[in-house]
Amino acid sequence: MEKEFDFFSDHSEAFLEMAFCPDYLERPTRPDGYGKNTGDCGDTVEVFLSVDQGRIQEISFQIDGCINTRACANTIGRMVHGRK
């Protein structure tokens, strides 16, 4: 008999943290940089950057897509914040 899929127990704690993290979900009024992409699956991610002295001071997103896309965007936010 096949095991029934359970979303919360079948994903890692790190994935769930990134999937439900609200830290980067906002639309700033005056970002220094902006990008938007819609993937083949139809998910759309808008990225906003605030840069000071060549470093990313703030990064935020608006997402129209699945929880996997949100987890990826939040992971990128954590990886690039404060970097050149």
Evaluate whether residue 4 is within a structural domain.
no
Does the residue 5 lie in any domain?
no
Angle between helices 67-80 and 13-20 (to 10 degrees): 90
Confirm whether 7 is domain-assigned. Answer: no
pTM, two decimal places? 0.82
State how many domains the chain has.
1
- CB atoms inside a 10 Å sphere around CB 67: 15
Q: How far apart are the first and last CA of the chain?
A: 51
CA–CA distance, 70 with 58 (Å, rounded to integer):
17
Please list the rounded mean pLDDT of every run of 10 residues in the chain (84 residues): 81 92 91 96 96 95 93 94 92
List the CATH number of the domain containing 46: 3.90.1010.10
Q: Does residue 3 fall inside a structural domain?
A: no
